[in-house]
Amino acid sequence: MKSPQEVSAIIGRLKELYPDAACSLDYDKDYELLFSVRLAAQCTDARVNQVTPALFARFPTLEAFAAASQEEVGEYVRSCGFWRAKARDIVASAQMLLSDFGGRVPDNMEDLLRLPGVGRKTANLILGDVYGQAGYVCDTHCIRITGLLGLTDGSKDPLKVEQQLRACIPPEESSNFCHRMVLHGRAVCVARRPDCAGCTLRDLCDHGKATGPSPAG
């Protein structure tokens, strides 16, 4: 595991590398982010962003989603994969948001996890991006890269990774840190061929140090 000084250095370098840490999903309303994250499961954010403009134009309010048929919603999201389950969860979530939460996306983990199709990853993202709370979003990029860095013990279990990151990443840094993990995973630490030689984190990374000296070294 890393010392607090090493953790701070990793966070600092990521900030320099990716100053604009933001979710790559396009949305205007809180519930649109919730639905977009559901669509992004086993799908790319880029594909979701191609689908949602027409979806949100056809169903411009939460009430419109709640009254929609799963079949019609499904026609709009078919290209995102697993479209029947995703359409079902979107309609059911819209109905629950109206019936149980006054039409607002919940601001706490317990209530978010009551929504159909919402797990801890989605809930953490909502808490971080919508409400500015701590948000430890443990997606595949975050799980893999934090394991390589040595911020975690290499576990692939999202809950265990979240617990370990909560112990080392300050809450106020958590949401943006996880966004930067995604950006780094797409740009440098690519799963199939990580560019360790060109990685600014190499001298702070357990895996990177094991592959040889950094360019500066």
What are the residue numbers of the active site? 121, 139
Q: Tell me 80's DSSP state.
A: G
Q: Taking the CB of residue 75, how many other CB atoms lie within 10 A of it?
A: 13
H-state helical runs in 30-155 = 30-39, 45-58, 62-67, 70-77, 83-100, 109-112, 120-129, 140-149
Q: Crossing angle for the helix pair 120-129 and 171-187, nearest 10 degrees?
A: 110
Burial, 40: exposed, middle or buried (Cβ in 10 Å; 0-12, 13-18, 19+)? buried
Distance CA 96, CA 91 (A): 9
